Amino acid sequence: MRTKIKRIPPDTALMRIMDALAQEAIEASDEEVTEAAADLRMDLNSRESAAFAGLTYSARPQMSEFFSVEVPKSLQAPTEGIAGKPPAQPADRQRRSKRLRIAIERKRPEK
Amino acid sequence: MKHQIPPLVDKRVLRPAQTALALALVDQMDLLRIKAIARIYARGLPQDGAWEDMLQEALTRVLTGSRRRPEGVAMVVFVAGILRSLRADYWRRAKRESGDERLRIDHQRDESLALELADPTPGPERALSARQEINLIKLLFSDDRAVLKIIDGLGDGLTAEQIRLSTRLSKTGYDSARRRMRRRVLREGMTCEPR
């Protein structure tokens, strides 16, 4: 009788390997984690250590990290064209609010 | 007058990993282990930086209580399980969205009795991606022949004893190869290098 040949799909093989590697990370002692960080010259006592990228701060670069956050107003002008100007108050409403302000000022108690 | 671009990430809002740390659900060492595991399970997924999203999503599920930790299970083990299922979810969704991976079993006489089932085998794209990922994992250990043999054995589904016998490694040699493998996994897991 011929030997039965079992073909393992690459996806299954990858999953098995990943499970085994994940198990290695689970079983790693604190000393092993510290040693691995030391190999990479990472200081685990520092909050900004690269080891914590993706954990306590984003590992993906942010736009504000590369570009100056101070931008002249002229650069922002095109967005006005896209978003449109804020709607102006109707003339009668402006007049009314002005009248209201005057009335409030008159009602203020004298010192 | 000068304008400021608002930062895209509001640093006043705590990230799930920071919250888990603050609530003492995990310690810093656990977070580093979880990061290494997330980077392992994100292998072969198409997006860049998928590991970070998976990791934060897994911790969010723990924090919101949508996944509840059974008693006696260590937090790292529990989060590793969530990460594994997030990966499986991704492939299930991708398969459903592609929609063309269905198996049809016809009935000889009655057409209405034909069955249509989801194809359990990975599609060619997924199979190719898996093969590439295995090669990339092997590349990590390219200078260590003993570890490469162990990885082949793991892929074939062999037990530790079977791998040891097939590779003709002594128990000490096998254990020390596994330790080297673990250290490399941790080292790779702590970086953010794209693969």
Q: B96-108, pLDDT tens digit by residue? A: 777 656 667 777 7
Are B79 and B32 within one domain? Answer: yes
Domain range for residue B81?
Answer: 14-99
Residue A72: φ, ψ to 5°: -60, 150
Q: Which of B1, B12, B33, B83 to mutate to test the interface with A (most CBs of A within 10 A)?
A: B33
| Beta carbons of B156 and A30 less than 8 Å apart | no
pLDDT at A72: 45
A66 in a domain, yes or no? yes
Could you tell me if residue B113 is inside a domain? no
* Structural domain contains residue A99: no
Give every CB contact of residue A66 below 8 A, 6+ residues apart in sequence. Answer: none
- Ramachandran angles phi, psi of B57, nearest 5°: -65, -40
Boundary-marking domain end, from B48, B65, B99: B99
The nearest CA of chain A is from the CA of B191 a distance in Å of: 6
Residue B109 lies in a domain: no
Task: Indicate whether A34 belongs to any domain.
Answer: yes
Residues B57-108 have pLDDT tens digits of: 999 999 999 999 999 999 999 999 999 999 998 888 877 777 656 667 777 7
3-state secondary structure B96-131: HHHCCCEEEECCCCCHHHCEEEECCCCCHHHHHHHH
Those residues whose C-beta lies under 8 Å from the C-beta of residue A91, and which sit 6 or more positions away, are: none
- What is the Rg, in whole angstroms, of the alpha carbon atoms belonging to chain B? 22
B95 and B135 together in one domain:
no
Residue of B nearest to A13 (CA): B155
SS3 A71: strand
Per the structure, the complete domain to which residue A21 belongs is given by 10-81
- Total domain count for chain B? 2
A3-55 residue pLDDT tens = 666 778 899 999 999 999 999 999 999 999 999 999 999 999 988 899 999 99
Domain end, chosen from B99, B130, B148, is at B99
Tokens of B152: 């082949």
Residue A28 lies in a domain: yes
- ipTM above threshold 0.90: no
Neighboring chain A residues of B86 at a CB cutoff of 8 Å = none
- pTM for this model (two decimals): 0.75
* Local confidence band at A111 (pLDDT 50, 70, 90 cut-offs): low
Q: Is residue B110 part of a domain?
A: no
Residue A38 at interface with chain B, using a CB cutoff of 8 Å: no
Q: Give a yes or no: residue B55 inside a domain.
A: yes
Q: B176 and B146 share a domain?
A: yes
Strands, E, within chain B: which ranges? 2-4, 102-105, 115-118
